[in-house]
Amino acid sequence: MNFKSPFAAAVCAIGLMVSAGWAKETVTYATSLEPPHLDPTAGAAQAIDAVVHFNIFEGLTRFTPDGAVVPLLAKSWEISEDGLTYTFTLQEGVTFHDGSAMDAADVKFSLDRARAEDSTNAQKALFTAISDVEVTDPQTVVVTLMEPNGSLLFNLAWGDAVIVAEESVEMLKTNPIGTGPYRFNEWIQGDRVELVRNPTYWGEVPPLSAATIKFISDPTAAFAAMMAEDIDAFDNFPAPENVAQFEADPRFQVLVGSTEGETILSINNAQSPFDNPKVREAIAHAIDRHAIIDGAMFGYGTPIGTHFAPHNPAYLDLTGQSDHDPDKARALLAEANLPDGFSTTLHLPPPSYARRGGEIIAAQLAEVGITAEIINVEWAQWLETVFKGKTYGLTIVSHTEPMDIGIYARPGYYFQYDNPDLQGLMNRLNATTDPEKRTEMLQMAQQTIADDYVNGYLFQLAKIGIAKAGLNGTWVNAPTAAIEIGALSWAD
Amino acid sequence: MSSATDIPPNQKARAMSRSLILGGMLAGIMLILALVSFVWTPFDHAVMNIPDKMQPPNAVHWLGTDHFGRDILSMVMVGARTSLAVACLSVGIGMSLGVPLGLAAAAMRGSWLDEMIMRGNDLVFAFPSLVIAILITAVFGPSAANAIIAIGIFNIPVFARVARGGSLSLWAREFILAARVAGKSRARISVEHILPNISNLLIVQGTIQFSLGILAEASLSYIGLGAQPPTPSWGRMLAEAQTMVSLAPHLAIVPGLAIILTVVGLNLLGDGLRDRFDPRLLEGRA
């Protein structure tokens, strides 16, 4: 190259440095769902956690990529003999992104806020065991329980249990301020959230200086963006039919793992005719899970017969109890005085497991005489009408929260299942710490909801992660919905 | 008006009648496919057979199967029904509202009524039709019925303009003057004398709008705002094929060709009809 002036050479050199820097220092990560807001302590949507958990916000404990619970803001803890008192020692030198120090008072505030009467926390049940939170010194918090609770440390690892500061709490939905390795920079609604590295992070400062999390729900757009290398990685790729193509392409790596996502055909248990267990059982037998996994997910997914993750040691395989048997389904409908079937609605949110799976399920229901009118809804609309408004007949959604069988003990939950026996069982489970007894009770709960045919249990969602070759640190499995930017780095 | 057969055949007229024949054939094939689908399709278009998914065209499934193992030929046939029905009804809406408005505007030329109708037309014309169609279906929910209404609304000003333009020159003609002298009302003249004389124009315009309607339906379905599953629709077949093009190209090629052939056919038909009927062209040849 022959430069006319040293200035041009300098500009060019800077340009090269910048472009080289871009490739190594930042990442553009895509996920299918855009969060409705950015406060994980005030929303059920897992899309919030995916963006902010471990990046902006941190809790006392955290999940590792393989699902174990390890210390985070709590450096260590001691549990009293009777299992009622947890003494947490906090990390030192932790500051919020606004510069204020994070200490025991913030922990007390966060936990008290989450479990308060008027709390807007979507997972309030995580905190019901706590009777008192006490600050003994700025680095020490004592949590007292009403009765022993075997899952407290697990519960505190949820995105809903992150530590927030009283000063910033009002604005968290649009301006999240936490203690994590990345700070919130900008949210272009409908497109992306931008994060920048927190230079004063208390832990090890992460390798990447900035990250963009893009929201792409359309499988076609996802495929195009990935192929054009507009994005470096996709959290859970929505077009399983393209996986083979990515596998054959040396530019990409494909990481297929498990998620905590029980994909279910949710049934509005309070609505007629679904209040009749026979009708729900008929639906369960009308569904052919293997056809759904093959047709909608191109084989990615594990059949489930209850609301529990198959990779969990306590899982019971109850798929045989709701095997595909259209004749039995028709007979059950006849027993329920609906020999000619009935009509209902099937609300489908955008993910392809729902849109494609829904078409297949509608066809399978039609075979036994049930007409399910497909209504495609956007995610916000789904949260509003189905999840909050409960005005739906059937819907398909993946419940990606870990160990969330407890939702069946909440009569007000959107599928409106009200069984006092199960509620009592879950209460006893929460009070039990003995692992063997817990397993036994969890299996009883799985059996109960399978016997009651609360929902149609379809399959455990696979996590199809696609990343550019050279990007290290992406999670293979998804024990919780999270895109941990701090763990990412580029190979040289 | 002299009929087309009186015109001595020349090079141009023969070329144009070829487009009339080809267009008529293509449109006719689609119409026949749609009609046959009411009584017979090779397979039930809604039955999924997932183990047989994404088969290329073969002896059993002539146009292959889709990602749910449904027979594509059956889907294309029933999809033709959806396309033609949406296009036909939306043209119907446009004609039945637009033509009376245009006739009234011409009959009352220069009056406030004429002004109001034509400015209203301009207003509707000012919006890109597909954008408003998206708005309508987004507000009232996606369905084939709303797609028909949305596309129909945009056909109204098209027909109003054609009807008004065609009528205006007629109002100055002697036979209309004679009718007026005979004491017929403007409304009666419009219906009895003007309308029959602009019907050729309307048919030509109707054919063109019909092909635009097919395209509009396909576009709306493509973005998920047209006919909802499980009703087959060419546009949605195309959209669903998108991520699978590299695995099974026929998924996109078949509905794509169906749309192209129908639209090209209808356009050729429209051109051919215009060359036969358009009075200006006839005068030019005479």
| DSSP sequence for chain B | ---GGGSPP-HHHHHHHHHHHHHHHHHHHHHHHHHHHHH--SS-TT---GGGTTPPS-SSSTT-B-TT--BHHHHHHHHHHHHHHHHHHHHHHHHHHHHHHHHHHHHTTTSHHHHHHHHHHHHHHHS-HHHHHHHHHHHH-S-HHHHHHHHHHHHHHHHHHHHHHHHHHHHTSHHHHHHHHTT--HHHHIIIIIHHHHHHHHHHHHHHHHHHHHHHHHHHHHTT-SSPTTS--HHHHHHHHGGGTTT-THHHHHHHHHHHHHHHHHHHHHHHHHHHH-HHHHHHH-
**Is the bond preceding residue A206 a cis peptide, omega within 30 degrees?**
no
Closest CB to B243: pick one of A220, A295, A360.
A220
Fold of A260-461: Dipeptide-binding Protein; domain 3 (3.10.105)
Q: Do residues A104 and A139 touch, judged by C-beta distance below 8 A?
A: yes
Query: Which two tokens mark A32?
Result: 């299918």
A363 at interface of B, judged by CB pairs closer than 8 A:
yes
Residue (of A483, A414, A35) closest to A259 by Cα position: A483
Q: What distance in Å separates residue A251's CA from the closest CA in chain B?
A: 17
**Closest A-chain CA to B52:** A295
Whether residue B262 lies inside any domain: the answer is no
Q: What is the CATH number of the domain that holds B82?
A: 1.10.3720.10
Whether residue B280 lies inside any domain: the answer is no
Contacting residues for A261 by C-beta, under 8 A, at least 6 apart:
A398, A399, A400, A460, A461, A478
What value of ipTM does the predicted structure carry? 0.79
A311 alpha carbon, distance to own chain's centre:
16
| Residue of A32, A227, A241, A287 to mutate, testing the B interface (most B Cβ within 10 Å of its Cβ) | A241
Domain count, chain B: 1
Whether residue B139 lies inside any domain: the answer is yes
pLDDT, one tens digit for every residue, chain A (492 residues)? 444 555 555 555 554 444 444 457 999 999 988 999 999 999 888 899 999 999 999 999 999 988 889 999 999 999 998 889 999 999 999 999 999 999 999 999 999 999 998 888 888 888 988 999 999 999 999 999 988 888 899 999 999 999 999 999 999 999 999 999 999 999 999 999 999 999 999 999 999 999 999 999 888 889 999 999 999 999 989 889 889 899 999 999 999 999 889 999 999 999 989 999 999 999 999 999 999 999 999 999 999 999 999 988 899 999 999 999 999 999 999 999 999 999 999 999 988 899 999 999 999 999 999 999 999 998 888 999 999 999 999 999 999 888 889 899 999 999 999 999 999 999 898 877 778 898 999 999 999 999 999 999 999 999 999 999 999 999 999 888 889 999 999 987
Q: How far apart are CA A434 and CA A426, in angstroms?
A: 14
Domain span at B144: 43-254
A212 alpha carbon, distance to own chain's centre:
19
Closest CB to A360: pick one of B68, B228, B239.
B68
Beta bridge partners, A373, equal: A345
Contact A294/B53, CB-based, under 8 Å? yes
A433 at interface of B, judged by CB pairs closer than 8 A:
no
- On the 0-12 / 13-18 / 19+ scale of CB atoms within 10 A, B4 is middle
Strands A394-399 and A252-267: antiparallel
